């Protein structure tokens, strides 16, 4: 049976479309996109500010730590070559879009039906949105969970009359966990299908890949990328279309460190993926909060790895030999399972503190005793309504927290559309001033960062395989 979480969006407002295509000059001025190739291992001992200005508390000064840092390319090299590549990429993308349009198709993958177009949706009195997720790649467990939650919200809204009498149609675009595929899918969504809004991914690397391209279009991307750099430019102003509806990595890293200190842990090791924006973004806030509590993590206890590094026993060995109280591992589920397995085989008896991806289904994927895991979560599983929904979807959804986040994105966006319609300027302004009570909490967007303020998070552990909620933290 279905569970209805929230009242349907308010039925008022006028619908209108207003999309623009960018000039090639806009593409020429974009920064280079991150690629999806593994970087070479880096050396330790390089000083760099772990908390960029846009991530620091107001009035704070940059602090430097000798973390293992990825090498940075000289931005002055190969500028002409990079510009030409961007021009060629843009022309190819436009050519692809025009070819697909001529054939009546789109480079999108829908889990239910062929991709719709804005014109067709408008003719049938519908509102077209996109859902840009990893459906078949390495992070498909996360992407599919977001997509299913978003679709549940679409179905609920439509079952209750739609938005101002108009049904929502959602096209799903498969990024395959690849940044190039993500950019191509994004361009298809906004140029060929001309969606009004995109449900964005929970993966920071993908959000980072599309953020510059999104500047040339008038389509909001409402996603879940925790890395503030996905939403905010280096000069401190937000990317106009990039929004996140969950607390930032700055907030989440701070909460996890505060929780660890509060529970008596004093010595820490850190294992993080230097090639993953999500993992890197959670590093500085955790270390900074420990520093505020007069706890310093020695550089020898901070271990960086990349995609090519899969010998987790060797990576963990110095931390295990040091007998640290806890190891901080902000990584994706597959890596966490391998890390937990290696730590257990090494005989580690301390706690492992993870990010969101230590939440279910980490436990079922790992399959063993997870009692030494601490993780942060967006949802309170002790809430009866949430618990009942989790029981309903448990055989179909691998990451319940992502399901509820996807649900909240569509419901919050639909609330905005109900009030102001799909005119870009009006919808953008409504999202910048969003205040919405969702399943995952009260979502209040800061227009200067395009991220929420004051959202609660929850710290959990496991009793063997069973999640146990320990404490709620206000944002």
> How many whole angstroms separate alpha carbon 80 and alpha carbon 17?
37
Per-residue tokens: 258: 């505060």
Provide the CA 52 distance to its chain's centre, in angstroms. Answer: 19
Mean pLDDT, the chain, as a whole number? 81
Provide the CA 434 distance to its chain's centre, in angstroms. Answer: 19
Contacts of 136 (CB under 8 A, 6+ apart): 109, 174, 176, 177
Contacts of 318 (CB under 8 A, 6+ apart): 269, 300, 301, 303
Q: What is the pLDDT of residue 121?
A: 61
Q: What is the pLDDT of residue 161?
A: 96
Q: What is the pLDDT of residue 125?
A: 85
| Higher local confidence (pLDDT), 293 or 18 | 293
CA distances from 198 to 68, 172, 190 (A): 35, 9, 9
Q: What is the pLDDT of residues 129-185, one digit of tens each?
A: 999 999 999 999 999 999 999 999 999 999 999 999 999 999 999 999 999 999 999
pLDDT above 80: residue 53: no
Contacts of 330 (CB under 8 A, 6+ apart): 253, 272, 278, 279, 282, 283, 286, 354, 355
Band of pLDDT at residue 209, cut at 50, 70 and 90? very high
Tell me the sheet residues that pair with 305: 273
DSSP for residue 324: -
The pairing of strands 64-67 and 126-133 is unpaired
pLDDT above 90: residue 396: yes
Residue 361: phi and psi, rounded to 5, are -90, 35
């Amino acid at each position: 049976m279905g569970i209805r979480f929230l009242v349907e969006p308010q039925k008022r407002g006028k619908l209108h479309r207003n999309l623009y295509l960018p000039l090639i000059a806009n593409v020429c001025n974009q920064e280079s996109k991150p690629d999806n190739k593994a970087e070479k291992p880096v050396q330790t001992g390089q000083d760099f500010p772990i908390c960029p200005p846009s991530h620091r508390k107001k009035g704070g000064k940059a602090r430097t730590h000798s973390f293992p840092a990825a090498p940075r390319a000289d931005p002055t090299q190969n500028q002409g070559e990079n510009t030409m590549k961007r021009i060629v990429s843009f022309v190819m993308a436009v050519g692809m879009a025009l070819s697909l349009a001529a054939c009546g198709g789109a480079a999108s993958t829908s889990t239910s039906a062929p991709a719709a177009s804005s014109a067709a949706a408008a003719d049938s009195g519908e509102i077209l949105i996109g859902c840009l997720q990893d459906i078949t790649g390495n992070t498909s467990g996360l992407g599919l969970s977001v997509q299913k939650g978003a679709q549940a919200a679409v179905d609920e809204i439509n079952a209750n009359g739609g938005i101002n009498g108009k049904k929502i149609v959602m096209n799903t675009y498969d990024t395959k966990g690849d940044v190039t595929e993500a950019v191509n899918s994004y361009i298809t969504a906004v140029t060929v299908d001309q969606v009004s809004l995109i449900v964005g991914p929970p993966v920071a690397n993908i959000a980072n890949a599309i953020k510059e391209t999104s500047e040339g279009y008038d389509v909001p991307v409402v996603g879940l990328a925790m890395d503030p750099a996905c939403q905010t430019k280096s000069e401190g102003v937000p990317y106009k279309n990039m929004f996140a509806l969950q607390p930032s990595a700055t907030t989440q890293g701070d909460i996890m460190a505060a929780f660890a200190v509060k529970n008596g842990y004093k010595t820490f090791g850190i294992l993080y993926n230097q090639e993953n924006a999500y993992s890197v973004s959670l590093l500085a806030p955790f270390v900074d909060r420990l520093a505020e509590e007069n706890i310093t993590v020695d550089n020898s206890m901070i271990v960086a790895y990349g995609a090519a590094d899969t010998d987790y026993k060797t990576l963990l060995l110095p931390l295990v030999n040091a007998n640290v109280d806890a190891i901080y591992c902000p990584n994706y589920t597959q890596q966490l399972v391998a890390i937990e397995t290696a730590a257990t085989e090494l005989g580690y008896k301390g706690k492992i503190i993870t990010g969101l991806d230590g939440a279910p289904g980490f436990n079922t994927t790992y399959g063993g005793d997870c009692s030494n895991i601490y993780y942060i979560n967006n949802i309170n599983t002790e809430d009866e309504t949430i618990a009942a929904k989790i029981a309903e979807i448990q055989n179909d959804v691998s990451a319940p927290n992502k399901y509820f986040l996807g649900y909240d994105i569509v419901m919050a966006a639909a609330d905005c559309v109900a009030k102001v319609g799909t005119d870009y300027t009006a919808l953008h302004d409504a999202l910048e001033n969003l205040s919405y009570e969702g399943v995952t909490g009260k979502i209040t967007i800061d227009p200067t960062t395009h991220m929420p303020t004051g959202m609660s998070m929850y710290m959990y552990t496991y009793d063997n395989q069973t999640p146990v909620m320990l404490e709620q933290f206000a944002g």
